[in-house]
Amino acid sequence: MIEAGLKNELQKQGVYVTTLEDLYNWGRANSVWPLTFGLACCAIEMIAASMSRYDLARFGAEVFRPSPRQADLMIVAGTVTKKMAPLVVRLYNQMPEAKYVIAMGACAISGGPFKQGYNVLKGIDRYLPVDVSIPGCPPRPEALIHAIMTLQEKILNQKLTGPDRPRHLNADVPGEFPVPAYGEHDLEPSKNPEVWQPPIMTRK
Partner 1 sequence: MQTNTYLVLVLLMLAAVGFAAAPLAMAWAWAKFYSPQKPGKDKNAIYECGLESKGDAWIHFRSEYYLYGIIFLVFDVETIFLLPFAVSFAGLPVGAFVAMIVFLLLLVEGLVWAWRKGMLTWN
Contacts with partner 1, residue ranges (CB under 8 A): 67-69, 86-88, 90-91, 93-94, 96-98, 168-169, 171, 175-176, 179
Q: From the CB of 35, what's the least distance to partner 1, in Å?
A: 10
Buried b (16+ CB within 10 A) or exposed e, 76-103: bbbbbbbebbbebbebbbebeebbbbbb
The separation between the first and the last C-alpha atoms of the chain, rounded to the nearest angstrom, is 48
Question: DSSP assignment of 151-190, as one string?
Answer: HHHHHHT--SSSTT--GGG-TTS-SS-PPPEE-SSSEESS
- CB closer to partner 1, 131 vs 140: 131
Q: From the CB of 184, what's the least distance to partner 1, in Å?
A: 20
Q: From the CB of 39, what's the least distance to partner 1, in Å?
A: 11
- CB closer to partner 1, 92 vs 114: 92
- CB closer to partner 1, 63 vs 179: 179
Angle (CA) 161 167 170, round 5°: 55
Q: From the CB of 68, what's the least distance to partner 1, in Å?
A: 6
- 3-state SS assignment for residue 134: strand
- CB closer to partner 1, 81 vs 150: 81
